[in-house]
Structure 1
């Protein structure tokens, strides 16, 4: 077989190019630290690496989401802790104001302190996060959730939704409770609250005061039913009434009941639906005492309203028997409202703490997942430097041998021997 000089040159050149290509490929691997520099280097590994890399990026996004959720929950935790302290402080002031030794001026001073606490609560309820969004407005986070109306009463302007954030592929976490849940709700364990007001919402004209209410029998067939005690004309009798959804209807067995708790007598206990309340003092016709389930339709919970009522009664001089009765009854009601509000805010605060703890757990799981993905990706595309350096040395020797061979072949000629 005849081998031409051109053929030998072409074969030598091809061998040089191949050796140079192999050496260049190993050089790129060492420079990049990756075994798979181009998809053609290992198509199967490159394809799997794309999927793992996407999973790694998504897991990292969830990590950022958890950081954002933790920041919001930490702010909420701090604010709710301040609200708990404020309610505790307000309760202490109400206990102080209940003392018979205080003068009108003293009570007015207490009212001034309560105003400061009240304004602090409103400020905390309208707190914003680091992005300028209101924390407790639900989805309506671009406007203050709590505003005073024309009468000076605080109204909730937000919605009833709870802002949620996805912290993992299978977990959507509430990161900000709405203001109604925090400031206008009571825990499920809340009992009954009494309030002394007439049917039209005005103050009673007499000086009847109440103690309680107290739960006597939770197994009573009418337990949980709101009722109202209304004094008749003349006021020596009263009716116990229940609400049928449209109007107050007298209870047949407790209509025209003789009132015996007047001044100088012992308190009269009135019981309905397993709940009792003690009354004493002199009533006026039309006076009424409402006994309602806390958080029910007849008496919706409202932390700010409780504060407003307490401030109102403390600012007003107790210079008549009716005003003294209003003072006692209003403080009694406000104390129960604050107790329920404290329990409710504490429950939400505990829920926030539980969510922060859950974030810690999900962080650990996410960290382990990130580690697994990183390890898998490394196994697929990362370079084994020891093996690569050995390969580089081998390719270098191969290239040198090809170059030496080419030089030797190029110099072969019969003319050298003639």
Structure 2
């Protein structure tokens, strides 16, 4: 076979370039120990490396989220611990205020301390994190969770949402607490109401407090189904209780309707009522016969407040249930929003109102009153001096007395301490009832805060486990990437030595062969 000189030189040059390229590439591997730089080096390995790099980026993001969640939970826990300490001090004041040796002056001093504690509690419940976001507003982190109303009550302005961060492939954790769950869902122990119906003029001999709910399950299952109840004292040592159907249910009361003729407590279907007996000189006890009371759950309270951005200054001055059956069937239980589309026409939305919400009712207001779903609302609008305007909105709050936020519990207790009771038996009875309510509601509120702290601890433990898992995955990811991307130093050095030898051989062969020529034989 004959090979032309041009073909020989071309073949030799190609072989030399290939060998030189191999030596350069292998030399680079020997320097930085990287085997796969491009997909051409190892198509399957390069695809796997891309997947591993994406996983590594996710793990880095999870690590950042773990840090953020841990910091947020730590701040929330510290704040809740501070709230717990304040509630403990308030409860101490409540228990101490029940002492028979306390005077109006003592109670007034306690009320002053309680006012400071209330301000501290209000401040803590409106705490922010290191980014300036409110801790307890749910997903509305830029809105203060609590606002103080003109009447001294407090309104929750956040929502029931939470800010969840992904900390693992299959795990997301709430980084915050919402005030609705922590502070708004404390059971209200003062959910019942007692009204004296006989004698028509109170003779001061017998009084029953509104009562405290001591067993929510019994209260909901048995008490609510039979109300309203009638409590009739038939003698100085016996009373009778009948339900709404006039059935005798006295045996459901502790003691079966008997008492020792002195002050004490009536326990009936999860409700504890303080009974104060104040005999007059010469009384034999028979004078208690005929005293009658009604006992039932407190009716819902409805109140409305104008939006600060309203075009007009019209206020909602009253809300009254005028049709209880229609109210229970149709009025939004979570509250409503009045939105006026003209000075007289309005739409009513159920809370929470979103951008895609549809009105649950519409109507036209005549004068300054209107009725919606059994509730009559009154406004102080005046066509000449203070007219309603399109765009006015009013938040309608429904208080079913099932729960009570801890700020309102503290505020009511403070107001009770300010009552002068030393020389007024009736006022003292109201004060003692308020004291019972305060102790019960503070205990309930403290329990909800403790539940929140426990929840934070559980999430913190889950976060620690996930953080360890992420670290293990990160380590495994790094090892796997290294096994695919990195070269074997021994193999690389052996290959480099071989390739250098081949390069030198090709150079020598080219030199020898290129010197062969027919002209050397002439």
Aligned to 2:38: 38
The 1:40–1:215 alpha-carbon spacing in structure 2 relative to 1, beyond 3 Å, is closer
Kept in 1, the 8 Å contact 2:192–2:213? The answer is no
Question: Does 2:473 align with 1:369?
Answer: yes
Deviation at 1:356, TM superposition (A): 0.3
Question: Does 2:299 align with 1:304?
Answer: no
Aligned to 1:253: 248
CA shift digits 1:59-89 (9 cap, x unpaired): 3322222222222111111111111111111
- Secondary structure of the structure 1 residue equivalent to 2:460: helix
Aligned to 1:183: 183
Greater Cα shift, 21-30 or 348-357: 21-30
CA shift digits 1:163-182 (9 cap, x unpaired): 32222222232222210111
Kept in 2, the 8 Å contact 1:16–1:399? The answer is yes
Kept in 2, the 8 Å contact 1:196–1:329? The answer is no
Question: Does 2:513 align with 1:409?
Answer: yes
Aligned to 2:263: 267
Deviation at 1:159, TM superposition (A): 1.2
Output the CA distance in 1 between the equivalents of 2:406 and 2:474.
Answer: 45
Kept in 2, the 8 Å contact 1:107–1:314? The answer is yes
Deviation at 1:230, TM superposition (A): 7.7
**Stretches of structure 1 lacking an aligned partner (at least 5 in a row):** 243-248
Matches within 5 A, 1:278-289: 278-281=274-277
The 1:393–1:51 alpha-carbon spacing in structure 2 relative to 1, beyond 3 Å, is same
Deviation at 1:229, TM superposition (A): 7.2
The alignment's TM-score, normalised by the length of structure 1, stands at 0.81
Kept in 2, the 8 Å contact 1:216–1:276? The answer is no
- Secondary structure of the structure 1 residue equivalent to 2:248: helix
Aligned to 1:222: 222
CA shift digits 1:69-123 (9 cap, x unpaired): 2221111111111111111111112222222323322222211221222111111
Deviation at 1:134, TM superposition (A): 1.3
Kept in 2, the 8 Å contact 1:230–1:286? The answer is yes
Kept in 1, the 8 Å contact 2:190–2:401? The answer is no
Greater Cα shift, 80-89 or 43-52: 43-52
Output the CA distance in 1 between the equivalents of 2:429 and 2:513.
Answer: 122
Output the CA distance in 2 between the equivalents of 1:105 and 1:24.
Answer: 96
Kept in 2, the 8 Å contact 1:197–1:290? The answer is yes
Aligned to 1:132: 132
Aligned to 1:344: 448
Aligned to 1:246: none
- Secondary structure of the structure 1 residue equivalent to 2:175: strand
Aligned to 1:245: none
Kept in 2, the 8 Å contact 1:214–1:277? The answer is no
Output the CA distance in 2 between the equivalents of 1:31 and 1:220.
Answer: 78
Kept in 1, the 8 Å contact 2:230–2:294? The answer is yes
Q: Which of 468, 471, 487 is the matching residue for 1:383?
A: 487
Higher relative contact order (CA 8 A, sep 6+): 1
Aligned to 2:21: 21
Deviation at 1:341, TM superposition (A): 0.9
- Secondary structure of the structure 1 residue equivalent to 2:222: coil
Question: Does 2:469 align with 1:358?
Answer: no
Deviation at 1:193, TM superposition (A): 4.2
The 1:390–1:240 alpha-carbon spacing in structure 2 relative to 1, beyond 3 Å, is farther
Question: Does 2:393 align with 1:398?
Answer: no
Instruction: Give me the CA root mean square deviation.
Output: 4.0
Q: Which of 334, 345, 350 is the matching residue for 2:438?
A: 334
Deviation at 1:269, TM superposition (A): 4.7
The 1:299–1:260 alpha-carbon spacing in structure 2 relative to 1, beyond 3 Å, is same
Runs of 4+ in 1 over 4 A off after TM superposition: 190-199, 204-207, 209-221, 223-232, 236-242, 249-252, 285-292, 413-418
The 1:49–1:396 alpha-carbon spacing in structure 2 relative to 1, beyond 3 Å, is same
Aligned to 1:103: 103
CA shift digits 1:295-334 (9 cap, x unpaired): x944422211110011112123324222222222211110
CA shift digits 1:219-256 (9 cap, x unpaired): 99725669677889xxx9999698xxxxxx5855379x
Q: Quick check: which one's helix share is greater?
A: 1
- Secondary structure of the structure 2 residue equivalent to 1:114: helix
